[in-house]
Copies of this chain bind each other. A is one copy, B any other.
Amino acid sequence: MQVTIFPLQDFPIINPGDDLESILIDELRKVDMIDGDIIVIAHTIVSKAENKVFDLSKIKPSSFALHIGDLQDKDPRKIEVILRESQEIIRMNERVLITATKHGFICANSGIDKSNAPGETVISLPDDPDLSARRIRDRIISSLGKSVAVIISDTFGRPLRTGTVNVAIGVAGINPIEDFRGRKDLFGYELQSTLVARADEVTAAAGLVMGQADEGTPVIIVRGVEYSQTDASATDLNRDRQTDVFR
């Protein structure tokens, strides 16, 4: 058993409104895709293609956004976009603004990012990353005839541990969580760790070759992973708030 991870080299820069599916399929034709491949796509290019780019010059911050911008010494117009994309503020102080996004992902700044966005613009998460992943997967299957999975990723900080890792925010054709309940260990005991965050393992692995800086490689192929196919959602990776002792 072997897993290989490689980027689509020289992937074109995606601009707002571009037909990402067509561009992606042209690039995928340059590598030999095989059934079972998982395609990990940085959400920024999906968001851009879906016009989830906000021109800050057209954003009027609320008084609350002005207040937070003042508190954190940040652009209140960016704060305004963060608040609009959130459903709840989870933690806020003079350094951090951690929200639950409208999808339920808990992350810094609702996932709003300035990196890799041109001019005075910011990029949000896609409106429905699972739907985006499904649409991309359907196009790949119909164009290339390969049964692949698609994961849309973002880079999240983490409670308790330093440093960022890539996580799955949209999935298609892969169950984000592998359920090993009932399986036995070497000595016949029930396994204790039974729900494995497979999609987050895949995105973290993709992070090993996904450049974040100017050499950006936003599309990564992960090959050889065992996974199960379902219609599950990446939001299944969000912990139930009632049982999360750290929320």
Residues of A that sit less than 8 Å from B by CB:
1-7, 13, 91, 93, 95-96, 98, 106, 113-119, 155, 157-167, 176-178, 180, 183-187, 189, 191-193, 195-198, 200-202, 204-205, 207-209, 212-214, 216, 222, 225, 236-240, 243-247
Contact = CB atoms under 8 A, between A and B. Distances in A.
Nearest to A179: B163
A5 B205 CA distance: 10
B204 A163 contact: no
Interface class of chain A by DSSP: loop
B3 A2 contact: no
Nearest to A245: B91
Given A216-B186, A245-B98, A205 B6 contact: no
A197 B155 CA distance: 11
A185 B162 contact: no
A10 B205 CA distance: 24
Nearest to A178: B163
B213 A165 contact: no
A162 B239 contact: yes
For A166, A193, A236, the residue with the greatest tally of chain B CB atoms inside 10 Å of its CB is A193
A91 B59 CA distance: 41
B212 A205 contact: no
